[in-house]
Amino acid sequence: MSSDRGDLCVQVLEALPDCGRLSRLLECFSNEFARAASFVVRCSGRVNIIGEHVDYCGYPVFPMAIEQTILLAVAPSDDNLLHIKNADSNFKPYKCNVLTFSIDVPSAGGPNWYQYVLCGVKGILENSTIQHDAARGMMIMLSGNIPPASGLSSSSAIVSATVLGTAYMHNATLNKQTLATISAECEKFIGTQGGGMDQAIAYLAQEGCAQLIEWHPLRATPIQLPANAVFVIANSLSEANKAATSDFNQRVVECRLASSLLAKQMNLNWRDLHRFADLQKALGYSLEQMEALVHANLGLTVYTRSDLLKLLEVTEEDFSAYLLTPNTRHSQTFKLRQRALHVLQESLRVQQFIETARSNPVDCIPRLKSLMKQSHESLRTLYECSHDNLDRIVELSDQLGVGTRLTGAGWGGCVVALCDGVEESQRFVETLKSEFYANLPKAQTCDLGILCFATSPQRGAEIYSIELKQRNILSPSA
């Protein structure tokens, strides 16, 4: 059954995904808050198949939503408080006033888990472009099975789920693109300068297809993958929280500086051209021409702060305030050439990957595997965001002819591997269990089925009423 409103669809589900886990969440909510939840939000993690560290430079990416999810059970509170709890008792609860709270990220160790929830609430309540009811308190209980700091977007899934839940609670009916944009902006409350891929796939994912995500305007194009393609995700068991260090933002800043410097060298207004995609558009260049521009104009292996002040003709104060982020203002050296070459070459690989998948030649999967292998090598050498454990998994993959690359920000987390058929994927998983995880002490107490598994593309974020009906407030694409 569905309503006649274009922005609201009510459908009775025959079966809920992961029903046992949902039931446990609802029971936990009732026990903690002494009342039933009003609704539940489901938001998937994601794996990026190819196109790493290019979204914040304005270039397309190719992710898919995975089976691991964040679930939020939500109900209004009778006070002005946000009561935030986790079904996993290892995560401490948090309570604050919805009208006055602030998000103060610890200087060491990165954000607390509940601060990602606060980001989502703040994003809706402070967005001046939307209409919603007056801020009200909420009871929120979270259940997640996306491994944290693994490159599968657990933090962004929490933010996106909370944005959707807060919008629903406050009667703000929004389209998917607006929700994705707000969710991406929310992460800046904790200092992450991401590009929006994680949030876009959270809302725009479709079951059975990966999505080509493009920007300005935000749009998603479903791309059918080869019938025999099987994707395996393997956790390196090296955690990498991109908000906990300056490594991620350092790469964002280096790309920003490279684009600005190239723009100045080409006599363009460099202050308006912080992203390679914008610079490319202003120049009317192809990606190949952009790559040649980098080779010709970014000649130093390392640029010092002093070099850039002279080349950009800016003061120390202007440089720090306008081009850096709070956690990179200490940086004295910058690798512009290497970062630029990775972004441009990776963007070419995304193009080639999509073209190959669409044309589906006889050797389609081998070609796609090769592009994924090239991607990892570039991330390892030019972007310098890999990790020994990730490289070891890729080395084992190469021996089996599997196309594997790190996915997510890097510095740990997971790889995504493309296998040609179920038999090859099973052989790959078994090899990792015997040759990688068996030699990793941290893996001995883990369920290997959670660490290493095949997955398929899932659908985007949803809301379920407590009566177990699907209530989708996401309007069609604008």
Beta bridge partners of 75: 139
Alpha-carbon gap, residue 336 to 52, rounded angstroms? 17
Nearest to 463 by CA among 163, 21, 168, 132: 168
With beta carbons less than 8 A apart as the criterion, state whether 425 and 454 touch.
yes
Is residue 198 annotated as part of the catalytic site, yes or no? yes
With beta carbons less than 8 A apart as the criterion, state whether 147 and 447 touch.
no
Alpha-carbon gap, residue 326 to 232, rounded angstroms? 37
Tell me if residue 85 falls in helix, strand or coil. Answer: strand
Beta bridge partners of 230: 419
Q: Please give the structure tokens belonging to residue 365.
A: 């999967």
Cα 212 to Cα 6, 84, 88, 331, 367: the distances in Å are 25, 34, 34, 34, 18
Tell me if residue 279 falls in helix, strand or coil. Answer: helix
* Burial label, 438 (beta-carbon count in 10 A; 0-12, 13-18, 19+): exposed
Q: What is the CA radius of gyration of the chain?
A: 22
Alpha-carbon gap, residue 393 to 437, rounded angstroms? 10
* E strands in 33-137: 39-50, 62-76, 81-86, 94-97
Nearest to 392 by CA among 422, 425, 437: 437
Pairing state between β 81-86 and 138-144: parallel
Q: State the virtual CA torsion across 437, 153, 116, 330 in degrees, nearest 10.
A: 80
Q: What are phi and psi of 283, to 5 degrees?
A: -85, -20
Q: Catalytic residue among 78, 198, 272, 278, which? A: 198
Active site residues: 198
